[in-house]
């Protein structure tokens, strides 16, 4: 199994998505939509973190979910709250040198969203959930069938893909959304839980 194999099997679906996006103003740019697949190879994945959709502010957009290309400024609110949770619950955690999260990528943490794109024109692009629903479900099924990983599902849309995860091999942590469910997220120890599940599966996570 490999990313090449995955995209061959889903070629018609990917073509449909591209055709839908081709004439729309969306972020990230089309050439960056599948950027995560060049940073983390299938066999290297330890953790899959799934959010909702890319940042609304185009200034914050990068070619991976959660991360941003702007490294010398305060991170977006969602990422800031993730950092704060880690600092409060994982004693060994140190903030990455850059907000593109290269250290996480190098440690096998696969970062994506339920929707890999969002349109600029529509602030509430619910139709994008429909556009990406089959792709993200096929993706988590493919990953979880390959080898054991820990899935961290941030918010209701991400949690909806749990039905497609092979939980015979892999483990799942359902996480309150850092923005819309902040009080619950702040009290959660989701990253500690993910690390515990990883140990049970036979590997370690370096946050």
Query: Model confidence over 63-75: pLDDT tens digits?
Result: 999 999 876 678 8
Does residue 207 form part of some domain? no
**Token pair in block for residue 11:** 């070629």
Q: What CATH code is carried by the domain that includes residue 179?
A: 3.40.470.10
Instruction: Quote the mean pLDDT of the chain.
Output: 91
Q: According to the model, what pLDDT value does residue 160 have?
A: 97
Q: How far apart are CA 103 and CA 123, in angstroms?
A: 31
Q: According to the model, what pLDDT value does residue 129 have?
A: 81
- 9 versus 63: the higher-pLDDT residue is 9
**Crossing angle of the two packed helices 11-21 and 126-146, in degrees rounded to 10:** 150
**Token pair in block for residue 110:** 């696969």
Q: What pLDDT band is residue 23 in, cutting at 50, 70 and 90?
A: confident
Q: How far apart are CA 125 and CA 183, in angstroms?
A: 25
Closest Cα to residue 151, out of 181, 111, 119? Answer: 111
155: left (phi over 0), alpha (psi -120 to 50) or beta: left
Residue with tokens 């907000």: 99
Give the model confidence (pLDDT) of 121-174 as tens digits: 665 556 678 889 999 999 999 999 999 999 999 999 999 999 999 999 999 999
Does residue 121 form part of some domain? yes
Q: How far apart are CA 41 and CA 108, in angstroms?
A: 8
Does residue 206 form part of some domain? no
Contact 58, 19 (CB under 8 A): no
Does residue 174 form part of some domain? yes
Mean pLDDT calculated for residue range 169-180: 95
Q: H or E stretch including 12?
A: helix 11-21
Q: What pLDDT band is residue 114 in, cutting at 50, 70 and 90?
A: very high
* Structural domains in the chain (count): 1
Does residue 190 form part of some domain? yes
Range of 66's domain? 3-201
108: left (phi over 0), alpha (psi -120 to 50) or beta: left
């Amino acid at each position: 199994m490999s990313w090449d194999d995955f995209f061959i099997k889903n070629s018609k679906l990917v073509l449909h998505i591209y055709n839908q996006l081709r004439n729309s103003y969306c972020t990230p740019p089309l050439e960056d939509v599948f950027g995560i697949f060049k940073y983390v190879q299938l066999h290297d994945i330890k953790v899959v973190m799934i959010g909702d959709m890319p940042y609304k502010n185009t200034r914050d957009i990068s070619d991976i979910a959660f991360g941003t290309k702007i490294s010398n400024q305060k991170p977006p609110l969602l990422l800031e709250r993730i950092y704060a949770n880690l600092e409060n619950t994982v004693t060994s955690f140190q903030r990455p040198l850059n907000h593109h999260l290269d250290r996480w990528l190098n440690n096998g943490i696969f970062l994506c969203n339920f929707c890999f794109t969002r349109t600029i024109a529509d602030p509430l692009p619910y139709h994008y959930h429909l556009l990406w629903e089959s792709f993200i479900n096929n993706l988590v099924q493919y990953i979880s069938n390959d080898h054991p990983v820990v899935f961290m599902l941030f918010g209701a849309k991400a949690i909806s893909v749990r039905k497609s995860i092979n939980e015979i091999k892999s483990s799942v942590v359902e996480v309150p959304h850092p923005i819309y469910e902040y009080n619950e997220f702040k009290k959660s120890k989701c990253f500690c839980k993910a690390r515990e599940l990883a140990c049970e599966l036979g590997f370690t996570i370096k946050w």
